[in-house]
Amino acid sequence: MDGSSSGIQEPFDLIRLSLSERVFVKLRGDREMTGILHAYDGHMNLILSDVEETIMIVNEGEQATVSVAKRKMDMLFVRGDGVILVSPPSRT
Amino acid sequence: MDESPPPPPDDAPDTQTPPPPRTIHTGSPTDFLKGVVGKKVIVRLNSGVDYRGVLSCLDGYMNIALEQTEEHVEGNVTNRYGDAFIRGNNVLYISAAEEL
Protein backbone atom coordinates (compact mmCIF):
# COMPACT_ATOMS: atom_id res chain seq x y z
CA MET A 1 0.00 0.00 0.00
CA ASP A 2 2.65 2.48 0.96
CA GLY A 3 5.28 1.43 -1.52
CA SER A 4 7.52 0.04 1.15
CA SER A 5 8.67 -3.50 0.74
CA SER A 6 9.24 -4.13 4.42
CA GLY A 7 5.66 -4.10 5.67
CA ILE A 8 6.02 -0.95 7.73
CA GLN A 9 2.82 1.04 8.00
CA GLU A 10 3.94 3.73 10.40
CA PRO A 11 7.32 4.95 11.59
CA PHE A 12 6.93 3.43 15.05
CA ASP A 13 6.80 -0.02 13.43
CA LEU A 14 10.50 0.43 12.77
CA ILE A 15 11.07 0.84 16.51
CA ARG A 16 8.72 -1.99 17.48
CA LEU A 17 10.65 -4.36 15.23
CA SER A 18 13.87 -3.34 17.01
CA LEU A 19 12.80 -4.35 20.52
CA SER A 20 15.45 -6.52 22.17
CA GLU A 21 17.91 -5.48 19.45
CA ARG A 22 20.88 -3.17 19.63
CA VAL A 23 19.94 0.23 18.25
CA PHE A 24 21.84 3.38 17.40
CA VAL A 25 20.37 6.58 18.83
CA LYS A 26 21.37 10.10 17.83
CA LEU A 27 20.58 12.71 20.45
CA ARG A 28 20.62 16.46 20.78
CA GLY A 29 23.79 17.94 22.16
CA ASP A 30 26.15 16.00 19.86
CA ARG A 31 25.54 12.73 21.63
CA GLU A 32 25.11 9.28 20.21
CA MET A 33 24.57 5.96 21.90
CA THR A 34 24.03 2.31 21.18
CA GLY A 35 22.16 -0.03 23.46
CA ILE A 36 19.67 -2.85 23.67
CA LEU A 37 16.16 -1.48 23.27
CA HIS A 38 13.82 -2.75 25.97
CA ALA A 39 10.88 -0.36 25.77
CA TYR A 40 9.66 2.84 24.14
CA ASP A 41 6.54 4.98 24.03
CA GLY A 42 4.91 7.54 21.79
CA HIS A 43 7.25 10.29 22.98
CA MET A 44 10.17 8.10 22.01
CA ASN A 45 11.14 7.78 25.64
CA LEU A 46 13.48 4.80 25.56
CA ILE A 47 14.72 2.18 27.97
CA LEU A 48 18.14 0.94 26.92
CA SER A 49 20.54 -1.48 28.52
CA ASP A 50 24.23 -2.15 27.98
CA VAL A 51 24.63 1.39 26.69
CA GLU A 52 27.70 3.07 25.29
CA GLU A 53 27.33 6.82 24.93
CA THR A 54 29.60 8.86 22.67
CA ILE A 55 29.84 12.60 23.28
CA MET A 56 31.42 14.89 20.71
CA ILE A 57 33.05 17.88 22.40
CA VAL A 58 34.09 20.84 20.27
CA ASN A 59 37.11 22.63 21.68
CA GLU A 60 36.97 26.29 20.78
CA GLY A 61 40.22 28.02 19.94
CA GLU A 62 42.56 28.89 17.08
CA GLN A 63 41.87 25.52 15.55
CA ALA A 64 38.56 24.10 16.61
CA THR A 65 39.13 20.45 17.40
CA VAL A 66 36.64 17.76 18.27
CA SER A 67 37.34 15.32 21.03
CA VAL A 68 35.26 12.29 21.80
CA ALA A 69 34.25 11.06 25.22
CA LYS A 70 32.67 7.69 25.84
CA ARG A 71 30.99 6.18 28.82
CA LYS A 72 29.04 3.04 29.56
CA MET A 73 25.85 2.55 31.50
CA ASP A 74 24.04 -0.63 32.44
CA MET A 75 20.49 0.67 32.22
CA LEU A 76 19.25 3.97 30.95
CA PHE A 77 16.03 5.92 30.52
CA VAL A 78 16.26 8.38 27.61
CA ARG A 79 13.75 11.22 27.56
CA GLY A 80 12.06 11.30 24.17
CA ASP A 81 12.50 14.97 23.38
CA GLY A 82 16.26 14.53 23.13
CA VAL A 83 15.99 11.93 20.40
CA ILE A 84 16.83 12.94 16.83
CA LEU A 85 17.20 9.58 15.11
CA VAL A 86 16.96 5.90 15.93
CA SER A 87 18.45 3.30 13.62
CA PRO A 88 17.75 -0.39 14.14
CA PRO A 89 20.26 -3.07 13.26
CA SER A 90 20.20 -3.67 9.51
CA ARG A 91 17.53 -6.22 8.65
CA THR A 92 18.34 -8.49 5.75
CA MET B 1 -19.49 55.67 -31.11
CA ASP B 2 -16.00 55.27 -29.79
CA GLU B 3 -14.13 53.01 -32.22
CA SER B 4 -10.86 52.79 -30.29
CA PRO B 5 -9.33 49.33 -30.56
CA PRO B 6 -10.17 47.03 -27.68
CA PRO B 7 -7.42 46.32 -25.19
CA PRO B 8 -5.59 43.06 -25.79
CA PRO B 9 -7.10 40.15 -23.97
CA ASP B 10 -5.58 39.39 -20.63
CA ASP B 11 -4.29 36.01 -21.71
CA ALA B 12 -2.45 37.34 -24.72
CA PRO B 13 1.11 36.08 -24.79
CA ASP B 14 3.58 38.67 -23.70
CA THR B 15 7.00 38.86 -22.21
CA GLN B 16 5.87 40.15 -18.85
CA THR B 17 4.69 36.91 -17.33
CA PRO B 18 7.05 33.95 -17.22
CA PRO B 19 5.80 30.68 -18.66
CA PRO B 20 4.17 28.42 -16.11
CA PRO B 21 6.38 25.78 -14.55
CA ARG B 22 6.61 22.58 -16.51
CA THR B 23 4.63 20.63 -13.98
CA ILE B 24 1.96 22.17 -11.83
CA HIS B 25 1.25 20.22 -8.68
CA THR B 26 -2.00 21.05 -7.09
CA GLY B 27 -3.22 19.64 -3.85
CA SER B 28 -2.62 19.90 -0.17
CA PRO B 29 0.59 19.26 1.74
CA THR B 30 -0.91 15.93 2.72
CA ASP B 31 -1.33 15.03 -0.94
CA PHE B 32 2.34 15.83 -1.49
CA LEU B 33 3.39 13.65 1.42
CA LYS B 34 1.25 10.75 0.20
CA GLY B 35 2.84 11.21 -3.21
CA VAL B 36 6.43 10.98 -1.98
CA VAL B 37 6.03 7.79 0.07
CA GLY B 38 8.20 5.18 -1.57
CA LYS B 39 10.26 7.85 -3.38
CA LYS B 40 13.72 9.23 -2.74
CA VAL B 41 13.57 12.27 -0.51
CA ILE B 42 15.83 14.70 1.27
CA VAL B 43 14.86 15.39 4.87
CA ARG B 44 16.48 18.45 6.37
CA LEU B 45 16.53 18.86 10.12
CA ASN B 46 16.54 22.11 12.03
CA SER B 47 20.22 21.50 12.75
CA GLY B 48 20.99 21.70 9.02
CA VAL B 49 21.79 18.01 8.70
CA ASP B 50 20.29 16.28 5.64
CA TYR B 51 19.08 12.71 5.39
CA ARG B 52 18.70 11.27 1.89
CA GLY B 53 16.83 8.04 1.47
CA VAL B 54 13.66 6.31 0.41
CA LEU B 55 10.66 7.43 2.42
CA SER B 56 9.05 4.35 3.96
CA CYS B 57 6.29 6.14 5.80
CA LEU B 58 5.47 9.01 8.08
CA ASP B 59 2.84 9.91 10.65
CA GLY B 60 0.94 12.92 11.89
CA TYR B 61 3.84 14.12 14.03
CA MET B 62 5.99 13.96 10.91
CA ASN B 63 7.98 11.17 12.46
CA ILE B 64 9.70 9.60 9.46
CA ALA B 65 10.93 6.13 8.55
CA LEU B 66 13.64 6.16 5.88
CA GLU B 67 15.38 3.32 4.05
CA GLN B 68 18.86 3.33 2.52
CA THR B 69 19.62 6.50 4.41
CA GLU B 70 22.67 8.68 3.98
CA GLU B 71 23.44 11.39 6.50
CA HIS B 72 24.91 14.51 4.91
CA VAL B 73 26.64 17.23 6.91
CA GLU B 74 27.90 20.22 4.94
CA GLY B 75 27.87 18.18 1.75
CA ASN B 76 29.78 15.19 3.11
CA VAL B 77 28.32 11.77 3.80
CA THR B 78 28.86 11.19 7.51
CA ASN B 79 26.80 8.05 8.13
CA ARG B 80 24.71 5.41 6.43
CA TYR B 81 21.76 3.58 7.91
CA GLY B 82 19.74 0.72 6.46
CA ASP B 83 16.70 2.08 8.23
CA ALA B 84 16.25 5.21 10.24
CA PHE B 85 13.50 6.64 12.40
CA ILE B 86 13.59 10.44 12.59
CA ARG B 87 11.61 12.11 15.36
CA GLY B 88 9.23 14.58 13.76
CA ASN B 89 10.04 17.62 15.87
CA ASN B 90 13.49 17.82 14.29
CA VAL B 91 12.19 18.04 10.70
CA LEU B 92 12.56 21.32 8.81
CA TYR B 93 11.44 20.09 5.41
CA ILE B 94 10.96 17.05 3.19
CA SER B 95 12.06 17.50 -0.40
CA ALA B 96 11.29 15.15 -3.27
CA ALA B 97 14.61 13.95 -4.75
CA GLU B 98 13.09 12.28 -7.82
CA GLU B 99 10.19 12.83 -10.19
CA LEU B 100 6.82 12.39 -8.57
ipTM: 0.88
Residues in chain B: 100
Q: Using beta carbons and an 8 Å cutoff, which residues of B are at the interface with A?
A: 37-39, 45, 47, 51, 56-59, 63-65, 67, 69, 81-87, 89-90
For residue B30, which phi and psi values (nearest 5 degrees)?
Answer: -60, -40
Q: How confident is residue B15, by pLDDT bands cut at 50, 70 and 90? A: low
**Cβ atoms of residues A55 and A69 within 8 Å:** yes
Count of A-B CB contacts under 8 Å: 77
> CA dist B17 to B1, B11, B12, B21, B25, Å?
34, 10, 10, 12, 19
pLDDT, tens digit (0-9, with 9 covering 90-100), for A60-83:
888 889 999 999 999 999 999 999
Average pLDDT of the segment spanning A23-45: 97
- pLDDT exceeds cutoff 80 at B4: no
Q: Give residue B26's pLDDT.
A: 75
8 Å CB contact of A87 and B89? no
Torsion, CA A38, CA A40, CA A45, CA A51, rounded to 10? 20
**Of B1, B60, B69, nearest to B34 (Cα)?**
B60
Q: Give residue B100's pLDDT.
A: 83
**What residue in B sits closest to A45 (Cα-Cα)?**
B87
Q: How confident is residue B87, by pLDDT bands cut at 50, 70 and 90? A: very high
Q: What percent of chain B has pLDDT over 70?
A: 75
Q: What percent of chain B has pLDDT over 90?
A: 70
- Average pLDDT over all residues of chain B: 86
Which of A78, A87, A91, A92 is the best substitution to test chain B (most B C-beta atoms within 10 A)? A87
**Cβ atoms of residues A43 and A8 within 8 Å:** no
No. of H helices and E strands in chain B?
Answer: 1, 5
Q: Give residue A62's pLDDT.
A: 86
